[in-house]
Amino acid sequence: MTALTPPHGGTLVNLNVEGTRALELKNQAKDLPSWDLTPRQLCDLELLLDGGFSPLRGFMTEADYTTVCADMRLTDGMLWPIPITLDVDAPTAGSLEPGSALALRDPEGVMLAVLHVDDVYQPDRMAEAERVFGSTSTEHPGVDHLMRRTHPYYVGGTVEGLQRPQHHDFTSLRLTPAQLRERFASHGWDRVVAFQTRNPMHRAHQELTLRAAREADAALLIHPVVGMTKPGDVDHYTRVRCYEALLEEYPDHLAELSLLPLAMRMGGPREALWHAIIRKNFGCTHLIVGRDHAGPGSDSHGTPFYGPYDAQELLQQHTDELGIEMVPFRLMVYLPDEDRYAPVDEVPDSATTASISGTELRERLMTGAEIPSWFTFPAVVRELRRTHPPRSEQGFTVFFTGLSGSGKSTIANVLQTKLLELGGRSLTLLDGDLVRKHLSSELGFSKEHRDLNIRRIGFVAAEATKHGGIAVCAPIAPYAHTRQEVRDMVEAGGGFVLVHVATPLEVCEERDRKGLYAKARAGIIKEFTGISDPYEEPTDAELTIDTVTSSPEEAADRIIGYLIAEGYLTD
């Protein structure tokens, strides 16, 4: 292989300090204000300290932030497309001034680094979103993070690292830029093409990476992101086991696997440029850029945030100053008649092609349907199936919501009995009254306390679901946003079925089995749902039960029918 000129890599920044300097900083720590780093900030810090973000030496000052947002350049003119900023809350910002220092800590309180403050500023987040992401829609995950999860002040300044963020998973695969450069040198690799990914890799990806390596006359680095990716992505533990399985399918001495602790922004073209700079720092000479690189896909109207090949165009414009070459790739498609893959632009329109979309793959995993070996290697399927068992083997939560006296508990009890009769899963019943006796005995009925109560139920239900069991919950749960929080928690590990027991208030009041409505009307009980406190009717319920026309037995049968139809239960 021939070396690229000019030589790749560039100078690596190393912000980790040792010996007396480290001791000195540690001794100062007790007098410094502290900031507990968010998951994204932890990722950014790790890449800053080890030089993955070279030439950056810290979090951006307002001057650098402004030029990066506006022109994708640092104030010294260097190309840098994504703001690397440390966002903090108002009290922390108020404790800082130029020249002061801030101890940066991990979630356990361990001091990882010291930030020497150059400035503290309040960003215009709307303008940042527009500039960096080309959108202000919170349907874009990068914009959502910026608008909803970023603190209002940014602190700029250089960083000195005392301890690298700790990882206990796949430690032998987490190579720093210096270690990876050394690894390449020890293999005698002076041309290396990197493949960026946040998804499990299938046959199409393998074909693409093999072709790219051939085209670039280079060895291959599979460099998946294991920091933060798009919400809803396959967890990195599963993915890494898939990559390890796939690695076995490459020719000997061609490919390396290393994990990148990057927090992606899903910023499409700008992010692709950033990925290229990062890979150059990790010693690569080429980066594969495919279709919609680092893009978040489309919004809810089906409009894509970026054009499919915008990233390739942007990299093309900056090839000369990047110091790393792009290997552009079109979509790979499978030709069943020839049993081979080819880039879509090399395939005649008349050719028969086959593909399995991400949605279809999830569907096949969910139902346990066959996943053909032309699509992915059996060893990869095995790994995916381990974490994505078919629905009949997954846990689920049936979450009832409705007014007091609507019949939630009665139906929940019948459902419990029927589910136990069917057997196969353990079951946890979290009835409103029961929970208030055991889990939430100190809580009242203010909005704050109700939310806390529902979150506790959600937490327990999510745990039971994740472990393959059933949770049947029957609180009032009057607030839509809290129900949504519970849904999100539960769906991370299994199924969630919201059942609205839609008994009208008049009927509940007329029944008044516990005599509570009479007391509420008399003002003896305050904040009573439906009388003196709100109930937000669900618009997202999987099932709505009318207890006026159906018995508890019929209601439970309907729910069982739904669970069978959705594949959670078998007939």
What track of x and - describes contact with ligand PPS for positions 2 through 41 (by CB under 6 A)?
A: ----------------------------------------
Amino acid symbol at 64: D
Measured from the CB atom, the residue of 285 and 410 that comes closer to ligand PPS is 410
Phi and psi at residue 350, to the nearest 5°: -75, -15
Count each helix (H run) and each strand (E run) in the chain, helices first: 21, 18
Question: Is-catalytic flag, 453?
Answer: no
Sign of CA dihedral 44, 50, 55, 58: positive
Amino acid letter, residue 546? D
Q: Which residues make Cβ contacts (< 8 Å) with residue 94, sequence separation at least 6?
A: none
CA pair distance 199, 239, nearest whole angstrom:
7
- 79 vs 88: CA distance, rounded Å: 26
- From the candidates 198, 241, 265, 425, give the one annotated as an active-site residue: 198
Q: Can 558 be counted among the known catalytic residues?
A: no
Residue 527 found at the interface with ligand PPS (CB under 6 A): yes
Among 200, 269, 432, 538, binds ligand PPS (CB under 6 A): 432
Residue nearest to ligand PPS (CB): 432
Q: Which is nearer to ligand PPS, 41 or 529 (CB)?
A: 529
- Spatial neighbors of 213 by CB under 8 A, at least 6 apart, are 193, 219, 220, 254, 255
Q: Is 283 exposed, middle or buried (0-12, 13-18, 19+ CB in 10 A)?
A: buried
Stretch that binds ligand PPS, among 80-88, 390-398, 449-457, 559-567 (CB under 6 A): 449-457
351-to-21, 335, 344, 345 alpha-carbon distances in Å: 65, 7, 10, 12
The interface region with ligand PPS, picked from 44-52, 141-149, 187-195, 475-483 by CB under 6 A, is 475-483
Q: Which of 197, 209, 397, 482 is catalytic?
A: 197
Contact assessment for residue 121 and residue 64, using Cβ atoms and an 8 Å cutoff: no
Least distance CB 407 / ligand PPS (angstroms): 9
The reply on whether position 191 binds ligand PPS by CB under 6 A is: no
Which span sits near ligand PPS by CB under 6 A: 87-95, 313-321, 428-436, 550-558?
A: 428-436
Secondary structure class of 549 (helix, strand, coil): coil
Q: How far is the CB of 150 from ligand PPS (least distance, A)?
A: 31
In a 13 Å sphere around the CA of 120, the CA atoms on its Cβ side amount to: 21
Q: Which of 415, 417, 445 is nearest to 545 (CA)?
A: 415
On the question of a cis peptide bond just before residue 98, with omega within 30 degrees of 0, the verdict is no
Work out the number of other CB atoms within 10 angstroms of the CB of residue 373.
Answer: 11
Structure tokens at 543: 């099932």
Residue 410 in the binding site for ligand PPS (CB under 6 A):
no
The residue within the footprint of ligand PPS, chosen from 41, 410, 453, 503 (CB under 6 A), is 453
Q: Identify the helix (H) or strand (E) that includes residue 319.
A: helix 319-322
Size of the site for ligand PPS (CB under 6 A): 21
Nearest distance in Å: CB 510, ligand PPS:
14
The pair of structure tokens assigned to 560 is 């069982």
| Closest distance of CB 479 from ligand PPS, Å | 8
58 versus 475: smaller Cβ distance to ligand PPS: 475
Q: Does 454 bind ligand PPS (CB under 6 A)?
A: yes
The region of 26-34, 115-123, 325-333, 520-528 touching ligand PPS under the rule CB under 6 A is 520-528
Asked if 272 and 294 count as a contact pair (C-beta separation under 8 A), the reply is yes
410 vs 465 by CB, closer to ligand PPS: 410
**Least distance to ligand PPS, CB of residue 447, Å:** 9
Q: H or E element: which one contains 465?
A: helix 447-466
Kind and range of the H or E run holding 283: none
Which CB, 378 or 534, lies closer to ligand PPS? 534
Cβ distance to ligand PPS smaller for residue 117 or 520: 520
Task: Please tell me whether residue 119 adopts helix, strand or coil conformation.
Answer: strand
**Beta bridge partners of residue 354, listed in sequence order:** 334
How many whole angstroms separate alpha carbon 503 and alpha carbon 531? 14
User: Is residue 153 at the binding interface for ligand PPS, with CB under 6 A as the rule?
Assistant: no
Q: Are 351 and 335 in contact (CB under 8 A)?
A: yes
Q: At what angle do helices 141-149 and 125-133 cross, to 10 degrees?
A: 170
Question: Do residues 405 and 508 make contact, with C-beta atoms less than 8 angstroms apart?
Answer: yes
Residue 433 found at the interface with ligand PPS (CB under 6 A): yes
Taking the complex as a whole, how short is the minimal distance between the CB of residue 540 and ligand PPS, in angstroms?
17
- d(Cα 293, Cα 208) in Å, to the nearest integer? 14
Q: Which CB atom, from 312 or from 440, has the smaller least distance to ligand PPS?
A: 440
Q: Catalytic residue at 570?
A: no
Binding-site string for ligand PPS from residue 476 to residue 495, where x marks contact by CB under 6 A and - marks none: xxx-----------------
Q: Kindly tell me which residue out of 26, 436, 511, 558 binds ligand PPS, with binding defined by CB under 6 A.
A: 436
* Residue 405 near ligand PPS by CB under 6 A: yes
Phi-psi region of 292 (alpha: psi -120 to 50; beta: other; left: phi over 0): left
What's the closest the beta carbon of residue 443 comes to ligand PPS, in angstroms? 7
Q: Which token pair is 401?
A: 């919501």
Residues 16, 136, 199, 238: which is the catalytic one?
199
* Nearest to ligand PPS of 301, 481 (CB atom): 481
Out of 54, 397, 404, 416, point to the residue binding ligand PPS (CB under 6 A). 404
Smallest distance from ligand PPS to CB 477, Å: 5
- 430 touches ligand PPS by CB under 6 A: no
Q: Which of residues 530-569 bind ligand PPS (CB under 6 A)?
A: 533
- Contact between 253 and ligand PPS by CB under 6 A: the answer reads no
Q: Which of these segments, 49-57, 182-190, 524-532, 549-557, binds ligand PPS (CB under 6 A)?
A: 524-532
- CB closer to ligand PPS, 365 vs 435: 435
Residue positions annotated with a catalytic role: 197-199
- Residues in contact with ligand PPS by the rule CB under 6 A: 404-405, 409, 432-433, 436, 445, 450, 453-454, 475-478, 514, 516, 525, 527-529, 533
